[in-house]
Amino acid sequence: MNYQDKKERMRELIDKLNEASKAYYAQDREIISNFEYDALYDELQELEKDTGVVLAGSPTMRVGFEAVEELPKERHERPMLSLDKTKDREALAEWLDGKEGLLSWKLDGLTIVLTYRDGRLEKAVTRGNGEIGEVITGNARVFKNIPLQISYTGELILRGEAVITYSDFERMNEEIEDVSARYKNPRNLCSGSVRQLDNRIAAGRNIRFYAFGLVKAEGVDFENSMEKEFVFLAKQGFDVVEYHKVTSETIVETIEYFEKKIEDYDIPSDGLVLTYEDIAYGESLGRTSKFPRNSIAFKWQDEIRETELLEIEWSPSRTGLINPVAIFEPVELEGTTVSRASVHNISVLRGLKLGLGDRITVYKANMIIPQIAENLTGSDMLEIPKHCPACGGETEVRQVADAASLYCTNPDCAAKKIKSFAHLVSRDALNIDGLSEATLEKFIGKGFIHEAADIFHLDRYKEEIVEMEGFGEKSYRNLIEKEPAEDGKVSSIETARHTTLPRFLYALGISGIGLANAKMICREFGDDFEKMLLADAERLSEIDGVGEVLAGAFVSYFQDEENLRRARALYTELEIEKREQTGEGGSLTGKSFVITGSLTRYENRNAMKEVIEARGGKVTGSVTKKTVCLINNDIASNSSKNKKARELGILIMTEEDFISQYLSE
């Protein structure tokens, strides 16, 4: 059995064993005997021992779930540059200039850098701005196909693309009943999934990783061959982007192969990448200020169709922003029928000089997102609505950053209410299961809900609600009933009364304040809501993860008397959990620490972090001048954090030494 066959057999065993475990432990049924399970498990262990590779999801190495307060940032060892681009096939042949190249997919997801040491995944960092990315190691460990252990034990650094397939994207969207809440495209879903603060969410998204570049592999001779680097990565258990060796004579034919394949290719791609096979030659060409000269991207020629603009649909949101959407005569684009395209904002709309009846050309950006390419008529006869289509209130055009956008000025706009309430009851906010946008729309329309606190008094309308279409006694019981059922089950709304202060703050929908920011603010003020209300923008802006813009939005929100009244009304309906606080008396108050590497006394870093924070200390993701000490059981390590600590003269302590010095009293 060759290596590839062994890897495929390992995947089969992992799927079968995990399916059997799920059936036995979660569904109380047995699909294979214990004897058969043990035999398959032993076979998997032998294959892992033989290959030196442990694939993601293997029952021989379970990955625990973890949550973080924020994603720490880290500088890349080498800057990650963008690629120069062309849509000209012949230009690629000229670019090769008689040399061999590798032509591969340019996948459309989120670029990730992985670092392995001693055969184990140590770190995963997003591309970020090319120089500094976000550390997402916990999420990477639950990707569908990343090897957690490899046979190579030196330091290995590689780059690849995290993606969500079209089939998984469509499956996840089908599970969301509310059409407006569905994900827009696989790339955005992948980007958000990779950067989740809780890796349980990432684990459910079927994120896959495809390697496309080797940065470092100490002590390995690749004989100056890019292809041999790819072969090496594949032998370590990585899925490598599909590639083909090409010359100036064969490249156009190979592009045609990819072009045919993309029609039903399940992995999002927005083009191809051509790289010199000769590594030394490619590196000798150097780079420009923006692009490396050893690679170039090929972008597909956009399929463009001419059609007629029928109308502009104006779509209000919970923030008051009214988005223009172009409706045109349906056309076939990239194999699907398209009749709508976002126009984004007033600036774009005016730039296109749109008018009803204009002849326009449309295309799919990256073969996915419909866009208007050009207005052939340019009548510029479109009127900007003076009244909101949802409530009839007056509208105004506001300049936000570099773009002009249309807003509804009516604070009681029905669209604002529905979207705001949908946010309020969402999973990371009050988490009221069963209160969908469609249900909210019905309740608001009937006057049952005017403000957030009203949600907790829907029992006043029991008779009307149980008679509503789609409702009944059971639905009412599960969503609204105040008293527990005979089996002790509590309704979704009553369950939501028990929450945390960060969730409450996030639920209010303050512009820019996410759950992570809310947690930072709450921690700073010891979960004291009244103290927060007294803080000014300058005080708030000093909090990590907040800054001047968010601080200003926070203060402005509560300076509005009606916002404050409604927030207080909602607050009185809730039972806020009191998290353990130490205040100024904590033994670690004012001290900042960084934790890295594996721990022995604590279950994980989060467990140690909670102990430090309970004593008033702070745990950050990167070493700075403010860091009191770096906690790392491998003091002699040459990791980036250890190096940084040494540069700054920051003490590096083992877990035991830290406990002895700081936690023993």
pLDDT score, position 544: 67
Segment 431-444 mean pLDDT: 84
For residue 439, which of 459, 457, 418 has the smallest C-alpha distance? Answer: 418
- What is the DSSP code string of 215-278? EEETT---TTBHHHHHHHHHHTTPPBPPEEEE-TTTHHHHHHHHHHHGGG-SS-EEEEEEEESB
Residues 605, 599 contacting (CB under 8 angstroms): yes
pLDDT score, position 353: 93
Q: Is 90 exceeded by the pLDDT of residue 550?
A: no
Percent of the chain with pLDDT over 90: 36
462 is annotated as an active-site residue: no
**Burial (CB count <10 Å: 0-12, 13-18, 19+), residue 280:** exposed
Segment 121-147 mean pLDDT: 89
Q: What is the pLDDT of residues 440-486, one digit of tens each?
A: 878 876 778 888 999 999 999 998 898 887 788 888 888 998 888 77
Segment 242-254 mean pLDDT: 94
For residue 15, which of 57, 50, 43 has the smallest C-alpha distance? Answer: 57
Residues 160, 114 contacting (CB under 8 angstroms): yes
pLDDT score, position 582: 47
Cα distance between residue 320 and residue 128, in whole Å? 30
Greater pLDDT, 418 or 362: 362
**Burial (CB count <10 Å: 0-12, 13-18, 19+), residue 492:** middle
Residues 169, 183 contacting (CB under 8 angstroms): yes
Q: Is 80 exceeded by the pLDDT of residue 492?
A: yes
Torsion angles phi and psi, residue 351, rounded to 5: -65, -30
Amino acid at 628: V
For residue 294, which of 273, 278, 276 has the smallest C-alpha distance? Answer: 276
Greater pLDDT, 246 or 55: 246
Mean pLDDT of the chain: 85
Q: What is the pLDDT of residues 565-613, one digit of tens each?
A: 999 999 999 999 876 554 445 678 878 899 988 787 776 777 788 788 7
Greater pLDDT, 551 or 585: 551
Cα distance between residue 602 and residue 631, in whole Å? 12
pLDDT score, position 455: 93
| Host H or E run for residue 25 | helix 3-26
6, 7, 106, 228: which one is catalytic? 106
Percent of the chain with pLDDT over 70: 91
Q: What is the CA radius of gyration of the chain?
A: 28
Q: Which letter does DSSP use for residue 664 in this model?
A: -
Cα distance between residue 347 and residue 103, in whole Å? 39
Cα distance between residue 210 and residue 84, in whole Å? 21
pLDDT score, position 281: 94
Beta-bridge partners for 275: 102, 295
